[in-house]
Amino acid sequence: MTSSDAELRLLTEAREWTAQDPDPATAAALLELVRLVEDGDPAARQELEDSFRGTLQFGTAGLRAALGPGPNRMNRVVVRRAAAGLAAFLVDAVAKAADGTRPRAVVGYDARHNSDVFAAETAAIFTAAGIETFMLPSALPTPLLAYAVRALKCDGGVMVTASHNPPQDNGYKVYLGRHAVGAEGDGAQIVAPYDAEIAARISAVGPLESITLAADGWTVLHGSIAADYQRATAALAMPGRFPARDLRIVLTPLHGVGGGTALEVLKAAGFTDVTVVAEQADPDPDFPTVSFPNPEEPGALDLALEAAARLDADLVIANDPDADRAAVAAKDPDTGAWRMLRGDEVGSLLGAHMVARLADGHPDAGAPQVFANSIVSSRLLSRIAAAAGLGHEETLTGFKWISRVPGLAYGYEEALGYCVAPDQVKDKDGISAAVLIAELAATAKAAGKTVFDTLDELYLQHGLHASDQLSIRVADLGLLDAMMNRLRVSPPESFGQSAVEVFTDLAEGSAQLPPTEGLLYITRNLTRVIIRPSGTEPKLKCYLEVILQVGSAAELPAARQAARASLDEVLHDVSEALGL
C-alpha cells in the first residue's frame, strides 16, 4: 500500500467515525483534523494516525487514554462499547452465580472533562441491559465508589476517572462484586481472567446503533451515601486509645474531588485545625496551578508547603485528584526544611500505627491479621509485622492484588497508596489513610516527637531502610523490551560493590506470585534492585533499596549518609547495566 493509499484509507476511516459519533464536539474536532491532514499538516497526520492506531485495549486497569475522537482515545463511542460489553459480562456472571437475581451496579465519576457524560451513558446502557443501576449523586472520590460497591452489595462498579493523569486524559475503572468474582475479590478492581473476559465481550459488541440506552430507570443516589462513607471513615479513628488532636494540618485536593469529603472526615474524627489550600480547593479539570496533578511530581505540593510554612503547620496532607492516594509532608527537624515523605516512609509509619491499634481494644484483635505490600515496596513492613507476630505477604504491584490477600488488615504500595480499612474499601483510599496519618502524627506530637522521630525508632529496631527509584521514559515501547533483554542476556554480577546472590525472573512466576514482566536482584548485603516496565506509561522503572543496621540514635546521621552514598552507587550500576 502506498503512502497516498494509506492516507486515503485513514481519512475514509475518520469520516466514517464522524458519521456515527454521538458527540458533536469530537465529531467536529475530527473533521478539522481531516481538513488539516488534507492540507498537508504533518502534526495533524501524526495525531490522526495515533487516534486510529488500533482500538483502546481494556485491561486490569480498565481504560485510560487521552480524550478525543477515534478508537484509540477516550470518547463516547469507546465508552458506550465498553459499557455494553461490561453489561453483558455482568448479566451472564450473575446469572451463573445467582440464578434469578437481577444484577446490580453503581457508577461514579470525578470532575474531569466528560466524566459526567461517560457516567450517565454507562448508567443508561446498564439499565437498558436489565441491570439495577445506581449513580453517585455528584463528582466524588474513587474510594467512595469502591465503598458503594460493597455497601450496596453490587455486582459491578464503574468509576470514570483518570486519577492523577494529565488533564487531557480520562479513564474507566472497573470493580466487581461477589456474584461476579466470589468473596475474595468482592468490591476489588478486576484481575485476570476477568479483564480478558470483559474485553472479549466489548469486542463482540455490534454496531454502535445496536447499543440501547435507557431514557431513565436508574437511581441517582441520595447524598446519604457520601454521608455514610464519611461517617464510617471518621469512625476509624480511635480517640479512646489515641486521644491527641492538637495538630495543625494543611490539606490540598490538587483541584480534585476529594477536598470536601476529606475535610468533613478529618473534622468528624476530631481534627478541626485544617486549612485547605484555597487555590486548589475546588474541582477543576484543567488543574491550573500544577504542571502535573500527581503529588509525587516536583512542584505539585509547592502551594501547600508555602501555606504550611506560613501557618506554622504540623503536617501537609495531599490527595491526588480522585483521592485514592495520599501524600504527606512535614518539617524535617534535622534540616528545618519541609519535605515530602516517600511512600515507603508513610507506609511503614502506618504499619507501625496499625500494630499499635491492633495490640488491644480493636474489635478484630483476635482475628487473623495480615499486612501486605507490593513487591517493589520496602521490606520494612515485613519486619514490623514479624516483630508484632502478624502475617505478611508480598504481591504484584497494584491494589487489585493487595486487596485480595486473605486476612488483610493493612496494605500499601510505595506509589502513595494505602488501604487501612479493607472491609470498608477494598482498594487504596487516600481519605481513610489521612485520618490515620493525622492520628499517628498527633500522637507523636503529644509525646514531644515528630513523624521523623517515629521513623527513626523504626530504623533503630528494624534497620535503616532507604529507597530510591530510577524511571526511564521511552518514545518507542520496543526499547523497553530491548533493555529487559539486555539484562537477561548480560545479567549484572553486583550492585554497589555487593555481589548478586539472588536473581529472580519474575516473568516465570512462583508459588507466591503470578508471572509478571520484571527482574529482581538481591545482593550479599541485602541491597535489592527490581526492574520492570511500567504498566500504565512508556517507562522502565527501577526500584532500589538498601538496608543498614544501626546501633544507636547517635549513629543515624552517619548511617543516612552512608545509605545515600550506597543508593547513588547502585543507581550508577543500574544505569550502566541498562546501557544508559
Q: Which are the catalytic amino acids?
A: 163
C-alpha cell at 133: 443501576
The pair phi, psi for residue 261, each rounded to 5°, is: -65, -45
C-alpha cell at 206: 455490534
CA separation for the pair 295, 272 (Å, rounded): 23
- Reference 170, options 35, 317, 23, 49; nearest CA is 23
What sign does the CA torsion over 157, 112, 534, 381 have?
A: negative
Residues 6+ apart with CB under 8 A from 562: 548
- Reference 388, options 405, 369, 404; nearest CA is 369
Q: What end-to-end distance do the CA atoms of the chain give, in Å?
A: 37
Query: Under DSSP, is residue 97 helix (H, G, I), strand (E, B) or coil?
Result: helix
Q: Are 136 and 105 in contact (CB under 8 A)?
A: no
C-alpha cell at 534: 511500567
C-alpha cell at 254: 490538587
Residue type, 526: L
Query: Under DSSP, is residue 575 helix (H, G, I), strand (E, B) or coil?
Result: helix
251 burial (CB, 10 Å; 0-12 / 13-18 / 19+) is buried
The angle that helices 430-446 and 259-268 make with each other, rounded to 10 degrees, is 40
CA separation for the pair 555, 84 (Å, rounded): 61
Residues 6+ apart with CB under 8 A from 196: none
Residues 6+ apart with CB under 8 A from 353: 436, 439, 440, 443
DSSP, residue by residue, 390-421: -EEEEE-SSHHHHTTSTTEEEEEETTTEEES-
Residue 183 DSSP symbol: G
Task: Provide the greatest CA pair distance for the chain.
Answer: 75
CA separation for the pair 325, 427 (Å, rounded): 10
CA separation for the pair 42, 11 (Å, rounded): 14
CA separation for the pair 369, 391 (Å, rounded): 6
CA separation for the pair 49, 10 (Å, rounded): 7
Report CA-CA distances (Å) from 61 to 24, 78, 157, 317, 470. Answer: 28, 15, 13, 26, 23
CA separation for the pair 256, 258 (Å, rounded): 6
Peptide bond into 406 cis (omega under 30): no
- Reference 576, options 469, 486, 485, 482; nearest CA is 486
